[in-house]
Amino acid sequence: MTTPSGPRRRLVPAYLATQGRTAAAGRHSLDRLSILHAAADLPAGLGGEHRQLWELVRPGALTVAEAAAHLRLPVSATVFIAADLAERGALKVRAPIPSAQPVNRDLAERLLSGLRALK
Amino acid sequence: MVVIVYVLAGAAAAAAPLLWLLRRAVRATRAAELRTGDAEASARAVGARADAAEQRSRAADGTARAAEATARAAEATARAAEDRAGAASARADAAEERTHAADIAARTAEAHRTVADARYAAAVRELGHLAHERLPAATTALTHPRTPVPGPLDVTGGTEELQHALESALTAAVRAVLAERDRTDAAARAALRGAASKIQALLIQVRSLLEEIQLSVDDPRLLALDFRNELTLRRVQSLAVLSGAWPGMTREDSPLAELCVGAQSRVAGYARIEITNHLREPRLAVAARAAEPVAIALAEILGNATAYSHPETRVVVSIEQGSSGALVVVDDMGVGMEPDQLERAGDLLGGQAEVLLTELGDPPQAGFAVIGLLCRQFGFGCRVEPSPYGGVRAILRLPADLLTLTDPAAPLSALAPRPITQTTPVFDEGDALPTRKRRSPRVPQQDAPPALPSPAGSTPDRARSAWSALQSGTLAGRSAVHHGPGLDGPAAPEGVETP
């Protein structure tokens, strides 16, 4: 009966990952570009979704958005899982890499002239 | 002639005596004649007398005859009178008998009247009893089957017809009430069906929209909204099922583990529900036609389990794969059910009892009725029994013909529990006896305060560190309040590496 056309109707809603909480655990500021990487072994007593996320980021770092795509969960739900792991020290969270900003030309020119002056 | 004279002489001589004799004879004759005459006269007299007598006799005879006739007449009269008297007597007898009979009849009638009066009074009493006691009880018993319905006041005294009539009156009244109730219920059901189907369709649209928005907006409140929507949807779905609408939506073959988690997500206290997957085959799925019904039934089971147990206890769910089908066993540690509640639940679950909207109570308790209806319609089974955990154990049984295997390419949801045998062994292999590994609750206790160091045996160093921890915590909290709550606060960057 499995029809390949179209996505399957949702059976498991994402909010289950919140475990009934209104905000993610801990005080890590996690957004979709926060970078996760494994820091320690998986602590016992967490659900299967925690294990999956931990296994996803173990080989390297992933942003929350990427991890969410792998887990096929919305970012808002993935944040809860990642925060649980970070709270237990199994994950490290980096703030997002700031996007490139226009260079202060005046500062750069003064630096350049200063360097030249060193010669 | 001499000779003749001689002879006459001799005859004369000889005749002398004779003459004498003759004279004598003559005299005698004369005397005789005289006497004869006398006699004759007397005879004549006698004859006359005789005649007279005869006449008299004749007269007497006539008189006698007349008398005789008179006597005969009298006799006849007498006989007639006698007959009449007899007849009169007979009539009198008959009259007496009739009187007697009438008397008896009157007495009988009196007795009958007394009996009839008593019966009438009894009938009036019975009718009053019927109207005031039996009928209300019988109608109450239609909704509350355990209500005792009193019998007639006098089982032995009343006539059979009366009892029969009373019974048929009661039966007719109950039948009328039943018919009216069915009619009302059908009308209510139809109205509810229309409303529930419409609301259900709208809520499913809301769900799809929310799911879509969740992919682009990261606000966790969307998740909370989704949850509320799902709770509402479950309520409406159960009403739709009760009112005879199509249960929810069509699905594809759905993995049993996902169905269980999906059912979990529809329950208010879902965080307390702990699902352990013991399936040998992780792709074991419920066939499309029964997928949503099974999810609805499981959600009702879990809803009962969480609603009737303490909010801090767990609800333990185990998904098992038997030799001919699968089982989902739900145990709660709640207050349990009374034997009669269990019996009623068994009736509802077994599809034995007819379910009316009016029977669900206020607020409606539809859980078992919904599960029973779905079981009957889709061919799975459910039963409840006292749980070894102290509350109620509900067992949902899925027969093999409702089970299938999903496409291995279709991945399971990340939130569905993996079979426990694939992650950690249930039993330690080295042990002589199998020991079940303790699993700590899946729910992290976020709200629990951190354990403070015990004051007993504290050293100055420990006391100092405890107090400084408290101080730093307070400071962190204050700075968090200053900088705004929640995720955006820059406070407490422990564990976060800043680049």
Q: Which of A1, A17, A47 sits opposite B288 (nearest CB)?
A: A1
Q: How confident is the model at residue B165 (pLDDT cuts 50, 70, 90)?
A: confident
Calculate what percentage of chain A has a pLDDT beyond 90. Answer: 27
Amino acid identity, position B105: A
Amino acid identity, position B284: L
User: What ipTM did this prediction achieve?
Assistant: 0.79
Which region among A37-46, B355-364, B372-381, B475-484 has the lowest average model confidence (pLDDT)? Answer: B475-484
Rounded CA-CA distance B301/B45 in Å is: 157
For residue A6, the distance in angstroms to the closest alpha carbon of chain B comes to 11
Rounded CA-CA distance B87/B73 in Å is: 20
- Composition of chain A by helix, strand, coil, percent to 5: 40, 10, 50
Average pLDDT over residues A54-68: 89
Instruction: Round the average pLDDT of chain A to a whole number and report it.
Output: 84
For residue B266, the distance in angstroms to the closest alpha carbon of chain A comes to 9
Q: Which of A11, A14, A71 sits opposite B223 (nearest CB)?
A: A14
Which chain B residue is nearest to residue A94, measuring alpha carbons? B497
Angle at the Cα of B220 (from B218 to B222), degrees rounded to 5? 85
For residue A119, the distance in angstroms to the closest alpha carbon of chain B comes to 32
Which chain B residue is nearest to residue A23, measuring alpha carbons? B220
Calculate what percentage of chain B has a pLDDT beyond 70. Answer: 80
pTM: 0.62
Cβ–Cβ contacts within 10 Å for residue B61, how many? 13
For residue A37, the distance in angstroms to the closest alpha carbon of chain B comes to 11
Which region among A88-92, B287-291, B301-305, B418-422 has the lowest average model confidence (pLDDT)? Answer: B418-422
Amino acid identity, position B27: R
For helices B135-143 and B160-216, give the axis angle rounded to 10 degrees: 30
pLDDT at position B364 is 66
Q: Which of B254, B423, B480 sits opposite A11 (nearest CB)?
A: B254
Are B440 and A2 within 8 A, CB to CB? no
Report the candidate in B127, B493, B143, B51 with the shortest Cα–Cα distance to residue A95: B493
Cβ neighbours of A21 in B, within 8 Å: 446
Q: How confident is the model at residue B427 (pLDDT cuts 50, 70, 90)?
A: very low
Question: What is the tens place of the pLDDT at every residue in B68-101?
Answer: 787 788 778 878 888 888 888 888 888 888 888 8
pLDDT at position B90 is 84
Contact B134, B170 (CB under 8 A): yes
Which region among A22-36, B127-141, B365-379 has the lowest average model confidence (pLDDT)? Answer: A22-36
Three-state secondary-structure class, residue A99: coil
pLDDT at position B451 is 44
- What is each CA distance from B48 to B36, B38, B40, B51, B54, in whole angstroms? 17, 14, 11, 5, 9
HSE value, Cβ hemisphere, 13 Å, CA-based, for B207? 24
Cβ–Cβ contacts within 10 Å for residue B138, how many? 18
Whether residue B354 is predicted with pLDDT greater than 60 in this model: the reply is yes
Instruction: Tell which of B211, B487, B488 to mutate to test the A interface (max A CBs under 10 Å).
Output: B487
pLDDT at position B456 is 45
Angle at the Cα of A31 (from A28 to A32), degrees rounded to 5? 145
Contact A21, A80 (CB under 8 A): yes
Domains and CATH numbers, chain A: 24-98 (1.10.10.10)
Report the candidate in B273, B230, B276, B282 with the shortest Cα–Cα distance to residue B255: B282
Report the candidate in B373, B349, B337, B132 with the shortest Cα–Cα distance to residue B237: B373
Report the candidate in B281, B258, B283 with the shortest Cα–Cα distance to residue B405: B283
Contact B408, B291 (CB under 8 A): no
Cβ neighbours of B217 in A, within 8 Å: 76
pLDDT at position B467 is 67
Q: Please, which residues have CB within 8 angstroms of residue B423's CB and are 6 or more apart in sequence?
A: A48, A51
Whether residue B118 is predicted with pLDDT greater than 60 in this model: the reply is yes
Which chain B residue is nearest to residue A87, measuring alpha carbons? B495
pLDDT at position B403 is 92
Q: What is the dihedral of CA B483, B487, B488, B491, to 10 degrees?
A: 50
Rounded to 5 degrees, φ, ψ at B275 are -100, 130
Q: How confident is the model at residue B439 (pLDDT cuts 50, 70, 90)?
A: very low
Rounded CA-CA distance B303/B314 in Å is: 13
